Structure 1
Amino acid sequence: MPVCGPKLSICGIILSIWGIIQLGLMGIFYFFGAVALSEDLPEVEFEPNMELSDFYSKIDAGYTQNAYNCWIAALLYLATLVFSAQQFWANNRSSLSV
């Protein structure tokens, strides 16, 4: 049973593919600690009594958490892709049987 029309389902497919690619790549770059993405990390302040290794471990934890967040969002886009593809298929099937 179609819930959305053929144009909206194609739009959902295209946006989902782009979201999967972009967020998948951003997740990879966060996972490997790309310096260009450091502005989007949770704020970590270096305290006078903090060891440098603790500071680096907090930074690494921020990179890892952002990578996981990107991959979770990419999986949500994958679910949207599956739904949009099913809707596109349902619309094409109903238009052929009429």
Structure 2
Amino acid sequence: MLICGPKLAACGVVLSMWGVIMLAMLGIFFCTHSAVLIEDVPFTEGDLKDGNPPMKVYEVFNKVGYNCFIAAAVYVLLGAFSCFQVKLNKQKEYLVH
């Protein structure tokens, strides 16, 4: 079932590849608790008042990292869909000519 044109499908492939690379790297950096990303971690003051503040912050880091990996998986699915659309567009072009 052809949904996208050839240019949109090719754009989807390129954006998906970039999204997978970027989000996978972000996931790795969040899971390794990179200090540069501390401003992007949504922890509250309540997390700092509990028994062991560093462990709470590390848990939030890990949750954000896992969310990045999930988003990368969604981009993989979108990339597969876009590749399928590229293939269908090539078949359609071949049949027309």
TM-score in same-fold range (> 0.5): yes
Q: Structure 1 residue 87 and structure 2 residue 85: aligned?
A: yes
The match for 2:58 is 60
TM-score, scaled to structure 1: 0.91
Conservation of the 8 A alpha-carbon contact between 1:10 and 1:84: yes
In structure 1, how many angstroms separate the alpha carbons of the residues matched to 2:69 and 2:8?
A: 25
Conservation of the 8 A alpha-carbon contact between 1:41 and 1:62: yes
TM-score, scaled to structure 2: 0.92
The match for 2:33 is 33
The match for 1:74 is 72
The match for 1:7 is 7
The alpha-carbon deviation at position 57 of structure 1 amounts to 1.1
Aligned pairs, how many?
94
What is the root-mean-square deviation in Å for CA atoms of aligned residues?
1.0
Runs of 4+ in 1 over 3 A off after TM superposition: none
The alpha-carbon deviation at position 44 of structure 1 amounts to 3.1
In structure 1, how many angstroms separate the alpha carbons of the residues matched to 2:25 and 2:61?
A: 14
Structure 2: runs of 5+ lacking an equivalent: none
State the secondary structure of the residue aligned to 2:21.
helix
